[in-house]
Structure 1
């Protein structure tokens, strides 16, 4: 089986207030940062054929800006479950991705995305890359993994961290 790529991303900077937490929009800085993250992903050759995005407004808007910055036209799956998911539940959602998908982008919330990225990491990354992700996982943080296997078999310590980047405009 050919190697797959998995991008784990935390949504961009959101406004402090919204009608509800679920409906908090991105701040204008968040839109710019997410677009910068998208441009960086495109520069890394990331071209997703599947995307899982929390159904919250700020994650939907993060996807729009990332896709705009990267030049992607893919329609994502907006998943309500990702909004409240803990790391194990998020991993379960990823395991349901069709095997036809080879490059997957997941955009969600912290602490889940940070913990998910740490959980997947097999520890074989370049030391500098590994150290960069070991710190904070701020808004617009992006972890790019390679993974060999079926999505259904994705588990703890099964993916190699290839790159870590924080989108900033």
Structure 2
């Protein structure tokens, strides 16, 4: 039996969009309170415009509760005309490792077709790399292998229910390095 091709049946495929927050200031009262720089806000707005242009529109957003991730989401939502997308600010995502972040994704409501996760490195890079099944866009894989800088975003096709998502089950659709 062959593996199901998640790109062959787009209507049945979920999408996971994994985004690292935009460029942040170097210091604040605490790491949790670090905000975005002007460049970081422009990068996040660029992601929002790109998501809209490419049709990777989230039905829900899971966002770390740190200031820089919340601000990244605000800029993405405003530029991508995504202000009506339900957002959950998850304190657990701030310090989550890849396995904990995956657990948060697995808890996504079954009605969500596309989930956007906004988090921190190294967790978001690890999440994207570990979920990738080694197939899909070779160009995206090469770009993702070169690093996961602030405002980098990965789009993965998920052929299973959120609760069943596991390492190596998602097809790499696209990777966008940061740019305004």
TM-score when scaled to structure 2? 0.91
Is 1:121 the counterpart of 2:132? The answer is: yes
In structure 2, stretches of 5+ residues that fail to align are 1-10
- One of 42, 46, 54 as aligned partner of 2:52: 42
Match of 2:157 in 1: 146
- One of 24, 32, 35 as aligned partner of 1:22: 32
| Offset, 1:52 | 0.3
Q: Structure 2: how far apart are the matches of 1:45 and 1:126?
A: 17
Higher mean C-alpha deviation, range 120-129 or range 81-90: 120-129
Higher mean C-alpha deviation, range 144-153 or range 66-75: 66-75
List aligned pairs for 1:87-126, cutoff 5 A.
87-126=98-137
Match of 1:82 in 2: 93
Higher mean C-alpha deviation, range 121-130 or range 30-39: 121-130
Secondary structure, aligned partner of 2:22 = coil
Match of 1:59 in 2: 69
Residues 155, 172 of structure 2: 8 Å contact kept: yes
Q: Please say which structure displays the higher CA radius of gyration.
A: 2
Alpha-carbon RMSD? 1.0
Residues 37, 166 of structure 1: 8 Å contact kept: no
Q: Deviations over 1:101-123 (max 9, x none)?
A: 11100000000000000000001
Q: Structure 1: how far apart are the matches of 2:174 and 2:117?
A: 15
In structure 1, stretches of 5+ residues that fail to align are none
| Offset, 1:167 | 2.9
